[in-house]
Structure 1
Amino acid sequence: MKSFVIAIFATVVLGSGVSAQDMTGSQMFRQNWTSAETASDGLGPIFNEASCHACHWFGGGARVRIRPDGEVAGAGVLLRHTFVDGKGDPHYGVQLQNKAVDGVEPEGVADLTALQAGDGLTRFLASVRFASGPGRTAGITMSLRAAPALDSTALVARVSAAAIINGADSQDKNDDGISGRVHLLQVPGEKPKIGRFNWKATAARVEDQVANALWFDMGLTSPAHPAPQGECPSRQYDCLEASGNQPPDLAVDFDETRIATLSDHVRSLAVPPTIPE
């Protein structure tokens, strides 16, 4: 079985007069970031993709293609591994990063195969090959995640807290086939906030969603995630050593202004027109 290769579809070439700080939100979204040793930004040391655009093609979600032999290729699909308490694997963290900067081993690769089930649904079987470390830890739950479409982000952000609370129906008492509850996020020193974004509504604002994606998917730092090693757990020594080589005066890759600029671009992505039946 061949490796599942996630392709990078677009590269933005900036003119010599455009610095990283002067990028527009659209340029940030499409930019292929590099490691801190070769530019002012700090991709990695481990990561899944080098740009937002690679997983969210023109603001959309994951793109997968099933080949005739059942093998799956595409972009925007990754593997999460967590304990029941929500904590990540002690060696691999919360997310399996399949790419790394020079001198660092990626964590592993998930080879995907599509299976046609008897109920007419297509299911995906993931065969994980760990490139470093001890392999799967007992008690870890592994699950595939597909990048969501971002073109309705602004609409979700505008839904009032009252509407979300009033629409909660964890037991599907109105029998409409939809059940769900409000995820209240506990913030130290602040009132609980309603989660709206990410898997299981773990981010309250678009800015939180953007900062999480930058850090987990690309290893890019921000005030919310300032650790230069990205999602390198303490047992990945080569990853930690690589992050320690960054200049000591290097600020976070995305300060509050850049987070706001990129978030504004995400909010600007248009909702696609309704497709007639």
Structure 2
Amino acid sequence: MKQKSNNFLNKFLLLTSLVAFFATGLFAVNKDDVYFSNEKDKSVLLKPINGLDDESYDKFILGRSFFTIPWVESPSATTARDGLGPLFNANTCISCHPKNSRGTLFNEKGNISRSLVARLSIPSNNSIQHQEMLKKDGFIKEPIYGAQVSINAVHGLKFEAKPKIEFEEKKVIFPDGEVVILLKPNYSLTEKNYGELAKNTAISFRIAPSLNGLGLLEQISNDDILANVDEFDKNGDGISGKANFVYSSLTKKLELGKYTWKASSATIYEQIAAAANNDMGLTTNLFINENCTENQIECNKKASSNKSIDITDERLEAIDFYIKNIKTYKSKETKVFKEGLEIFENISCVKCHKNNFNTKLGIKISPYTDLLLHDMGAGLSDGRSEFKASKNEWRTAPLWGLALHEKITNKKPRLLHDGRARNFEEAILWHGGEALNSRNAYMKLEKKQREKLLKFLGEI
């Protein structure tokens, strides 16, 4: 049955990208009108692409319901949405992705938001068990707490721990004398209910990214992504884009990684299943085990009473379809936009934040990412490797859609993987490694030029 299910999923993934193509009659309409919106509306990322037929629209609505309606503990009368936990961070996907936007660092009460999760890993001891983990997961889980810390638990069970942030000020002085104060985060875990972490555990705090344009990103061909690989910087420009190849639970082999902060997931479908398991304790045919570790006895007892699979293939496919078929924000090419883009190009930001891809359906997109790994320097290292991504390496973050964040959340976006940067300038100043030359070029710009670039980043 499992093989049959996987075969079906593989066929689904091959066909799903064509659904919108046939459903919307793209031969007769402007593709931009189908996929994009340039309105800074707080509900843009909740809207479907134009022209879905009735069956496709029903699937979109079904996926949205599983993405937004809370999951509850099993067993429950609400059998379609039970199975939460036993350990979890949030009970809905939308809790971490407000209105499908980027997550926030702090909630309305000033506490750390559920959008920020703590990922755990330990160094390999080169045992057969660890080698298998590296092959399938790309990292070694912490033995007591597992891959990710859960800040909540079902009734009668203790949560794992709570995150804590303390900031240390770091002064940066521009050549023209301007001073900017960066906040260097010191993250830790408190209230560790299952004991201390293993020695040398790496704790990587990560904020939930925006869902803007994910369906279009999946429509970029692997060949187009790999064309930008220059791992050993043969052209001597200082940029060494590297592809991450990761184990796919769908195909049972290595595939090009495109998603997550370190490009450790090959498809949106797999990333949804992984997030459901890590963030909400929900099982699927891709992740059949609850997120309890062997050392969490009471958690395993709770898990044993749950049904075998919490999210069926059909429901997971509906969520996948929903995410791939939401509108994508596209900025208007105003004078402010054009002036800022020219500076963005001149200081070589576009070498990583690429804005010139074409999808398999012939749609021109500007996601401002190459979907490749880059060494960002020791200042942004999280001490964690994932498959081919080293401790200092991160996938280039897509910048499109950042203009919507403040409109949606009434807060300026906290940027970079852990939300340390309070604005675009701070994010730029944290860039090191391969991006150091661009950072330095930014600092040498005249004040007015820097302001134009920052306004541009607020528009895309």
TM-score by length of 2: 0.50
**Letter matched to residue 75 of structure 2:** E
Describe the shift of the 1:59–1:179 C-alpha distance in structure 2 as closer, same or farther (beyond 3 A): farther
Inter-partner Cα distance in structure 2 for 1:80 and 1:187: 20
Inter-partner Cα distance in structure 2 for 1:130 and 1:102: 18
Inter-partner Cα distance in structure 1 for 2:239 and 2:169: 26
SS in 1 for 2:300: helix
Q: After TM superposition, give the deviation of residue 192 of structure 1 in Å.
A: 3.0
In the alignment, is residue 47 of structure 1 matched against residue 88 of structure 2?
yes
Match of 1:30 among 54, 68, 77: 68
SS in 1 for 2:197: coil
> How many residues end up aligned between the 2 structures?
249
In the alignment, is residue 82 of structure 1 matched against residue 138 of structure 2?
no
Q: Answer yes or no: is the 8 Å Cα contact 2:248–2:266 preserved in 1.
A: no
Match of 1:220 among 282, 292, 301: 282
Inter-partner Cα distance in structure 1 for 2:185 and 2:264: 25
Q: Answer yes or no: is the 8 Å Cα contact 1:157–1:206 preserved in 2.
A: yes
Q: After TM superposition, give the deviation of residue 178 of structure 1 in Å.
A: 4.5
Q: Answer with 1 or 2: which has the greater Rg.
A: 2
Q: After TM superposition, give the deviation of residue 123 of structure 1 in Å.
A: 2.4
Structure 1 stretch 85-94 or stretch 130-139: which is displaced more?
130-139
Match of 2:183 among 83, 99, 122: 122
SS in 1 for 2:113: strand
> Which residue pairs with 1:268 in the alignment?
325
Inter-partner Cα distance in structure 2 for 1:181 and 1:126: 28
Inter-partner Cα distance in structure 1 for 2:208 and 2:248: 26
Q: Answer yes or no: is the 8 Å Cα contact 1:66–1:114 preserved in 2.
A: no
**Letter matched to residue 288 of structure 2:** P
Inter-partner Cα distance in structure 2 for 1:245 and 1:23: 30
Match of 1:106 among 159, 163, 170: 159
Inter-partner Cα distance in structure 2 for 1:221 and 1:87: 20
In the alignment, is residue 144 of structure 1 matched against residue 196 of structure 2?
no
**Letter matched to residue 201 of structure 1:** A
> Which residue pairs with 1:18 in the alignment?
none
In the alignment, is residue 257 of structure 1 matched against residue 257 of structure 2?
no
Q: Answer yes or no: is the 8 Å Cα contact 1:59–1:269 preserved in 2.
A: no
> Which residue pairs with 1:134 in the alignment?
195
Match of 2:102 among 61, 85, 100: 61
Match of 2:257 among 195, 219, 239: 195
SS in 2 for 1:217: helix
List per-residue Cα deviations over 1:157-208 (Å, max 9, x = no partner). 0110101111112244556664331122245875532111123222111110
SS in 2 for 1:121: strand
SS in 1 for 2:84: coil
> Which residue pairs with 1:17 in the alignment?
none
SS in 2 for 1:266: helix
Inter-partner Cα distance in structure 2 for 1:191 and 1:110: 35
**Letter matched to residue 117 of structure 2:** L
Describe the shift of the 1:176–1:30 C-alpha distance in structure 2 as closer, same or farther (beyond 3 A): farther
Pick the structure with more helix per residue: 2
SS in 2 for 1:42: strand
In the alignment, is residue 73 of structure 1 matched against residue 112 of structure 2?
yes
Q: After TM superposition, give the deviation of residue 155 of structure 1 in Å.
A: 2.1
List per-residue Cα deviations over 1:47-106 (Å, max 9, x = no partner). 111110000111112212499xxx753330011110134111110001010100001111
**Letter matched to residue 234 of structure 1:** E
Q: Answer yes or no: is the 8 Å Cα contact 1:72–1:112 preserved in 2.
A: no
Match of 1:162 among 223, 227, 236: 223
| RMSD of aligned Cα (Å) | 2.5
Inter-partner Cα distance in structure 2 for 1:187 and 1:272: 29
SS in 2 for 1:63: coil
Q: After TM superposition, give the deviation of residue 113 of structure 1 in Å.
A: 3.0
- Structure 1 spans left out of the alignment, 5+ residues: 1-20
> Which residue pairs with 1:7 in the alignment?
none
Q: Answer yes or no: is the 8 Å Cα contact 1:115–1:124 preserved in 2.
A: yes
Inter-partner Cα distance in structure 1 for 2:294 and 2:107: 37
Inter-partner Cα distance in structure 2 for 1:48 and 1:91: 17
**Letter matched to residue 87 of structure 2:** I
Describe the shift of the 1:165–1:273 C-alpha distance in structure 2 as closer, same or farther (beyond 3 A): closer
